[in-house]
Amino acid sequence: MIRVRFAPSPTGALHIGGAHTALFNWLFVRREGGRFVLRIEDTDRVRSTKEAEKTILDGLQWLGITWDEGPFYQSERLNLYRRYAEQLLENGLAYKEGSAIVFRTPREGATYFKDIVWGDIEVENGSLKDIVLIKSDGMPTYNFAVVVDDHTMGITHVIRGEDHIPNTPKQILIYKALGFEVPEFAHLPMILGPDKTKLSKRHGATAVGEYRNMGYLPEAVFYYLSLLGWSPKEEGDILYPQEIVKLFDLRDVTKRAAVFDLEKLKWINKLFIKDKSPAELAKAMRFFWLEKGYNIDDYPESYLQDVVAILQGRAYTLQELADYSDYLLKESLNYDKIILAEFIGVMKGEEWNSLIEEIKKIDPFVVENIDNAVRSWLNKRGVKLKGVGQALRYALTARRVTPGIFEVMTLLGKDRVVDRLERAVSLVVGESSNWQDA
């Protein structure tokens, strides 16, 4: 049976690179059928923390990367590593250096493996130094613990980042010395920033949790990560995890380093936001609305879904969506008084009052009726829609750009529309002495 593992060191957040590795392991094992093992490589007692571990597990869960076994902790397996190191000592394949145990690398011959992504790789053993197995503090080194674990956990496919290619021949020598069967290896391409250097903090957010907080959908991040080093045979629509699983083939992964392009991720996120049902999206929005201080519990669920539905085509992130929905979820608006005066100034106060009276009569307060009522009032008065439309928009939303103003009005409802218009007009009339000349 196929068994893969993801083996993070809990020394920091789940970064894009780690998530990418976990995701390719997951796609492979869900495609082929098998088990996904989670192993926490916490032998660095100083740098490993429980908080980091929690962040990593949360990040995996958020992305929908599920594991079947674990988490297992290397720190709980120290005796196991020691036993195998002593076996190598007894066989004369390792020696002691103080209290450390060191593997004697053969001087002759070469070590070969066929990487699923990179093809044939061969290294002269003479070019490798001896390998510390157990450090003088009693802790195993990465290269040793990983071999003991991957063998005892029955791992058949080691899928990890390209940066581990130089470690692989060393690990293979240890497998052989211990009489273990060597697993298959697949090294995933490196992920670069836009400037073609290894992706790092300098390039902006690298932790998965930061994307979550910025309002990226897990499915969007999932899809984008799957495109780093791989692509479906047929270009097309956005794909959800279960659809990617069906198309995924580890043999199609490229060696070419992949560039992490935030603009592309944003674009993909927009497509997923658009694709979501308002009900699902409203649920995802709760966190972002609450963060903005909107009292969303004052509104019925159906209203929140209508808010999402009217805005979901425009936003690149859920943060943006929360921003755009302010006038629909906040009681009072913050106008820029100068802009308001300019917009409201397209008509006299008396005309505004007349329009407001007309609006009060609309029943039911739906797009078609609002549209008809406002247009026929304008026709009668010989006033153009453009200026009044912009004024309505600004007075009702304190924004210059929104979805269609009649739709916004429907959503706000007659009472809020009338209140906001009356307040906007009185704010301007009250402050402008030459209002009548406007």
Q: Is 212 in the site for ligand GLU (CB under 6 A)?
A: no
Contact string (CB under 6 A) for ligand GLU, positions 149-168, x = contact: -----------x---x----
The verdict on 348 binding ligand GLU (CB under 6 A) reads: no
Q: Which is nearer to ligand GLU, 171 or 312 (CB)?
A: 171
Give the DSSP per-residue string, 230-252: ---SS--S---HHHHHHH--GGG
Q: Which stretch binds ligand GLU (CB under 6 A): 5-13, 126-134, 276-284, 420-428?
A: 5-13
Strand, coil or helix: 326: helix
Q: Do 161 and 17 contact (CB within 8 A), yes or no?
A: yes
Q: CB of residue 19 vs ligand GLU: minimum separation in angstroms?
A: 12
In this complex, which beta carbon is closest to ligand GLU, that of residue 147 or of residue 359?
147
CB neighbour burial string for 63-72, b if at least 16 within 10 angstroms, e if fewer: bebebeebbb
For residue 186, give the nearest of 1, 56, 2 by alpha carbon.
2
Task: Tell me the window of 7-15, 209-217, 259-267, 336-344 that interacts with ligand GLU (CB under 6 A).
Answer: 7-15
In angstroms, the CA 92 to CA 333 distance is 79
Span near ligand GLU by CB under 6 A; candidates 3-11, 25-33, 182-190, 300-308: 3-11
Nearer to ligand GLU, 166 or 293 (CB): 166
The greatest distance separating any two alpha carbons of the chain, rounded to the nearest whole angstrom, comes to 102
Give one DSSP letter per residue of 114-163, joined into a string. EETTTEEEEEEGGGSPPEEEE-TTSPBPHHHHHHHHHHHTT--EEEEEGG
Minimal distance, residue 101 CB to ligand GLU, in Å? 20
In the complex with ligand GLU, the residue whose CB is nearer, 8 or 241, is 8
Residue appearing with tokens 């976990």: 22
Both tokens assigned to 284? 């995802």
Interface with ligand GLU in residues 113-152 (CB under 6 A)? 146
Q: How far is the CB of 141 from ligand GLU (least distance, A)?
A: 12
Q: Is 276 in the site for ligand GLU (CB under 6 A)?
A: no
User: 259 to each of 200, 262, 344, how far by Cα in Å?
Assistant: 12, 9, 49
Query: Residue 184 CB, nearest distance to ligand GLU (Å)?
Result: 13
- Least distance to ligand GLU, CB of residue 420, Å: 55
Q: Tell the smallest beta-carbon distance from residue 404 to ligand GLU (Å).
A: 51
Specify the residue, 36 or 289, whose C-beta has the smaller distance to ligand GLU. Answer: 36
Is residue 412 involved in binding ligand GLU (CB under 6 A)? no
Q: Is the CB of 58 or the CB of 422 nearer to ligand GLU?
A: 58
* Amino acid identity, position 225: L
**Smallest Cα–Cα separation from 307: which of 184, 191, 402, 224?**
402
Inter-residue contact 38 to 6 (CB < 8 Å): yes
- Give the one residue of 4, 9, 258, 285 binding ligand GLU; rule: CB under 6 A: 9
**C-alpha gyration radius of the chain:** 31
**Which residues in the 28-47 window bind ligand GLU by CB under 6 A?**
41
Query: Closest distance between ligand GLU and the C-beta of residue 9, in Å?
Result: 4
- Measured distance CA(371)–CA(405) in Å, rounded: 9
CA distance 273 to 312: 6
Tokens found for residue 399:
């924004």
Candidate ranges 2-10, 64-72, 109-117, 241-249; the one touching ligand GLU (CB under 6 A):
2-10
Catalytic residues: 201
- Compute the 3-state secondary structure of the chain and give helix, strand, coil in percent, each to the nearest 5: 55, 15, 35
Nearer to ligand GLU, 184 or 422 (CB): 184
- Shortest distance, CB of residue 41 to ligand GLU, whole angstroms? 4
Cβ pair 207, 247 in contact under 8 A: no
Give the binding-site size for ligand GLU (rule: CB under 6 A): 7
Q: Which of 214, 310, 212, 227 is nearest to 268 (CA)?
A: 227
- The token pair at 76 is 């709980």
Residue 367 phi, psi dihedral angles, 5° rounding: -45, -50
Calculate the CA dihedral of residues 269, 270, 275, 278 and round it to 10 degrees: 100
Q: Is residue 8 at the binding interface for ligand GLU, with CB under 6 A as the rule?
A: yes
Nearer to ligand GLU by Cβ, of 189 and 349: the residue is: 189
* 7 is a site residue for ligand GLU (CB under 6 A): yes
3-class secondary-structure state, position 95: strand
Interface segment toward ligand GLU; rule CB under 6 A; list 4-12, 190-198, 283-291, 390-398:
4-12
In the complex, the residues that contact ligand GLU under the rule CB under 6 A are 7-9, 41, 146, 160, 164
